[in-house]
């Protein structure tokens, strides 16, 4: 019987190789832990709701419709690119803004714009620049007003923070999106954007920094226009607004982070929330139920999120089809309260029609029932066609 020599640690040079191998095995989990796993997701870029810019009530309505549409799309989060308000009633505007966006069914992150009043933004929204991560990606939100208007101390502090965030993301292998309010001018031959604008020299420095650290995209608003460009592989996306968009309808942008870059995105119109949609499946399109498109259920409207607005057991669509009022309960019980005398009349008429056909060879063309149970009555109209 062959004897197997016991295993022993190697010596000399072989021992060094084994040590390196064992160290690699020990370090591998820690190294892998620093490499994020990149997931697929969608998010919304929403720019310039700017309550008060195109009419205060109009702008609130557009934002409500956007919130409703976004909830239907169910993205991972919403990224607001500044100018949340635009009115002399700043405090009230922020209160109204927060009341509307509280209806979002997902997290929201905010950049500050030139109309947002820094002190009230801090009070009602939060920090003017910050970062967060999602599915292995890093999102950096900057205060572009510190680039538009150089502020000693504050501008340097944010720039140092931005560099630190980019370095940290790079070390972790996390791709970076950056978002701010103002677009970045691309080159010397390009006209500067409407004031206030980021000085072209500062824009050049920022873009070089983004390129150095492999930034995926820079997202902005401010212009109320859709301008899509590229800088050495960095997606530069200035998106239209929800209050009004020049050359287009009010809307927001849906991003799909999946597969290889560049990542796809599309500008969606807020009014399309109603396009072919019947949320509560009651047979009435949402556009019919919310007739004035304000995102609210007014006193004379049925509820697009409730198939039976008046709670009488009949759907809104059924009541409309039978000529009933879907805002007024028609029955006190779950079964329609037609009187049995009315049902007896119907049976007599049906029997008479059958006898008539048996006697003279005629036939029924159609029977139309029109029920008006609000008054406890039933009308029966019988149409008879001869000679067929």
Which residues in 192-217 are b (16+ Cβ under 10 Å) and which e?
Answer: ebeeebbeeebbbebbeebeebebbb
Q: Average model confidence (pLDDT) for the chain?
A: 82
Top-confidence residue, 277 or 199: 199
Contacts of 49 (CB under 8 A, 6+ apart): 59, 62, 63, 66, 80, 83, 84, 85, 97, 241, 242, 243
pLDDT exceeding 90 applies to what percent of the chain?
A: 56
Mean pLDDT for the stretch of residues 89-95? 92
Tens-digit pLDDT profile for residues 204-233: 999 999 999 999 999 999 999 999 999 999
pLDDT-based confidence at residue 297 (cuts at 50, 70, 90): confident
For each of the domains in the chain, give its residue range(s) and CATH number, in order of start: 41-273 (3.60.21.10), 340-385 (no CATH)
Contact 286, 274 (CB under 8 A): yes
User: Can you give the pLDDT at residue 196?
Assistant: 76
Both tokens assigned to 183: 């677009």
Top-confidence residue, 388 or 22: 22
Top-confidence residue, 379 or 299: 299
Mean pLDDT for the stretch of residues 93-108? 98
pLDDT-based confidence at residue 296 (cuts at 50, 70, 90): confident
Top-confidence residue, 368 or 254: 254
Top-confidence residue, 215 or 20: 215
| Residues composing the chain | 388
Phi and psi angles of residue 64, each rounded to the nearest 5 degrees, phi first = -60, -45
User: Can you give the pLDDT at residue 365?
Assistant: 42
pLDDT tops 60 at residue 52: yes
Bond before 262 cis per omega within 30 degrees: yes
User: Can you give the pLDDT at residue 388?
Assistant: 43
Instruction: Lowest mean pLDDT of 80-84, 200-204, 296-300, 334-338, name the range.
Output: 334-338
Question: Using a CB cutoff of 8 Å and minimum separation of 24, what contacts does 282-286 make?
Answer: 282/307, 282/308, 282/315, 282/316, 282/317, 282/318, 283/315, 283/316, 283/317, 283/318, 283/320, 283/321, 284/316, 284/317, 284/320
User: Can you give the pLDDT at residue 366?
Assistant: 40
pLDDT tops 80 at residue 341: no
Total Cβ atoms within 10 A of residue 154 = 14
Cα 276 to its chain centre, rounded Å, is 18
Q: What is d(CA 218, CA 143) in angstroms, rounded to the nearest whole number?
A: 13
User: Can you give the pLDDT at residue 348?
Assistant: 56
Task: Provide the phi-psi class of 218: left if phi over 0, else alpha when psi is between -120 and 50, else beta.
Answer: beta
pLDDT tops 70 at residue 320: yes
User: Can you give the pLDDT at residue 122?
Assistant: 97
User: Can you give the pLDDT at residue 210?
Assistant: 98
3-state secondary structure (DSSP) of residue 231: strand
Q: What is d(CA 140, CA 295) in angstroms, rounded to the nearest whole number?
A: 32
């Amino acid at each position: 019987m062959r004897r197997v020599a016991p295993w022993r640690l190697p010596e000399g040079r072989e021992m060094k190789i084994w040590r390196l191998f064992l160290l690699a095995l020990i370090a591998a989990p820690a190294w892998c832990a620093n490499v994020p796993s990149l997931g697929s997701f969608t998010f919304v870029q929403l720019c310039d709701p700017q309550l008060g810019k195109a009419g205060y009530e109009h702008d609130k309505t557009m934002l409500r419709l956007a919130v409703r549409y976004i909830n239907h799309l169910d993205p991972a989060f919403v990224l607001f690119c500044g100018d949340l308000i635009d009115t002399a009633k700043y405090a009230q505007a922020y209160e109204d803004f927060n009341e509307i966006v509280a209806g979002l069914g997902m997290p929201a992150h905010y950049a500050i714009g030139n109309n947002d009043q820094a002190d009230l933004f801090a009070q009602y929204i939060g920090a003017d620049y910050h970062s967060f991560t999602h599915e292995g990606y890093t999102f950096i939100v900057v205060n572009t007003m510190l680039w538009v208007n150089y502020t000693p101390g504050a501008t340097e502090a944010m720039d140092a923070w931005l560099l630190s965030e980019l370095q940290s993301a790079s070390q972790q292998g996390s791709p970076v999106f950056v978002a701010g309010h103002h677009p970045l001018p691309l080159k010397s031959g390009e006209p500067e954007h409407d004031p206030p604008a980021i000085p072209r020299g500062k824009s050049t420095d920022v873009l070089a920094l983004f390129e150095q650290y492999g930034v995926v995209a820079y997202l902005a608003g401010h212009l109320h226009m859709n301008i899509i460009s590229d800088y050495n592989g960095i997606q530069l996306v200035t998106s239209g607004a929800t209050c009004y968009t020049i050359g287009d309808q009010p809307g927001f942008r849906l991003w799909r982070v999946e597969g290889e870059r560049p990542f796809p995105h599309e500008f969606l119109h807020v009014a399309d929330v109603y396009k072919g949609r019947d949320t509560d499946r009651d047979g009435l399109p949402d556009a019919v139920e919310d007739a004035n498109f304000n995102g609210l259920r007014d006193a004379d409207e049925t509820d697009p999120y409730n198939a039976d607005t008046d709670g009488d057991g009949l759907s809104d669509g059924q009541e409309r089809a039978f000529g009933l009022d879907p805002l007024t309960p028609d029955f006190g019980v779950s079964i329609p309260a037609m009187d049995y005398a009315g049902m007896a009349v119907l049976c007599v008429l049906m029997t008479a029609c059958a006898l008539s056909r048996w006697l003279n060879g005629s036939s029924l063309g159609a029977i139309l029932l029109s029920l008006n149970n609000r008054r406890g009555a039933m009308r029966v109209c019988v149409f008879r066609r001869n000679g067929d």
